[in-house]
Amino acid sequence: MAKRRILVVEDDKAIRQGIVDALAFDGYDVLEAKDGKEGMRMALRFDYDLLLLDLILPKGDGLEILKAVRAGRPTQPVIILTARGEEQDRIKGLELGADDYVVKPFSVKELLARIQAVLRRSPERPTDVTVVDFDGGSADLARGEVHFEDGGRSELSVREGELLRYLASSAGRVISRDELLSRVWRLTPGRVDTRTIDVHVARLREKLRDDPAKPRLIQTVRGKGYMFKKAES
């Protein structure tokens, strides 16, 4: 079973290191950012299961990061970190969609318990595929990067990475557009034009150098959906 990944955005080095060490010891894979600028970039580009977000940050604002995450990844679990006396910021964070909050100073035991509780009640997301290898290159889904054997490189958006993960985790199986809407976009099929799926598949093929006229990776199954070609043994 793949490790759960947590992104920690905290500017205080001692607090951040303490959190990172505690999470790693408890079996989590950890990403970390030390300021708002780096936190925003990682929160929107990288793949992770939960965001642990300090609200007061240099080079940015934790609430702005939360807004951006909620806009682009509506179901992403988020726990905010606040200091005593920051009640208004804490309330604002909850209004913007944070799942929970922890007040500094906090115990490691309390933090881990809150993380486990939020993850338990969060929607399942496929996490079994982190690297997708294909003829001529590979995609690192954690970093949102595609690297080619000739030295070329392209970047995947969060949605493109999630789409590739879902397709690759079900390689060899035809996946309908309705299933992709439900499991990747987390939208109710029938209420959204499925052409958005086709647009993202087209962009993903371009990033993977997958010829749309003769796709070797993401194949279109007429009237049914898409299938990621299973790797040959």
pLDDT at residue 129 tops 80: no
Each residue's pLDDT tens digit, 204-218: 999 999 999 999 999
What integer is the mean pLDDT of 134-141? 92
Q: What is the mean pLDDT of the chain?
A: 87
Query: What whole-number distance in Å separates Cα of residue 111 and Cα of residue 152?
Result: 41
User: How far apart are alpha carbons 163 and 169 in whole angstroms?
Assistant: 10
Does 233 have pLDDT greater than 50? Answer: no
Name the strand (E) or helix (H) holding 102.
Answer: strand 100-104
Note whether 8 and 19 are within 8 A (CB). yes
Alpha helices per DSSP H over the chain: 13-25, 36-45, 62-72, 87-95, 108-120, 158-169, 177-183, 195-207
Going edge to edge, which strands form the sheet with 131-134?
131-134, 137-140, 145-148, 153-155
Mean pLDDT of 116-125: 73
Contact predicate 83/62, CB 8 Å? no
Helix (H) / strand (E) containing 56: strand 56-57
Q: Is the whole-model pTM more than 0.75?
A: no
User: Structural domains in the chain?
Assistant: 5-120 (3.40.50.2300), 131-228 (1.10.10.10)
Q: pLDDT by residue (tens digit) across 53-81?
A: 999 999 999 999 998 888 777 778 899 99
Q: CA end-to-end span of the chain, whole Å? A: 22
Give the pLDDT score at 89. 80
Q: What is the pLDDT of residues 154-210, one digit of tens each?
A: 999 888 998 998 899 888 889 888 888 877 876 666 666 678 899 999 999 999 999
> Which run of H or of E encompasses 227?
strand 225-228
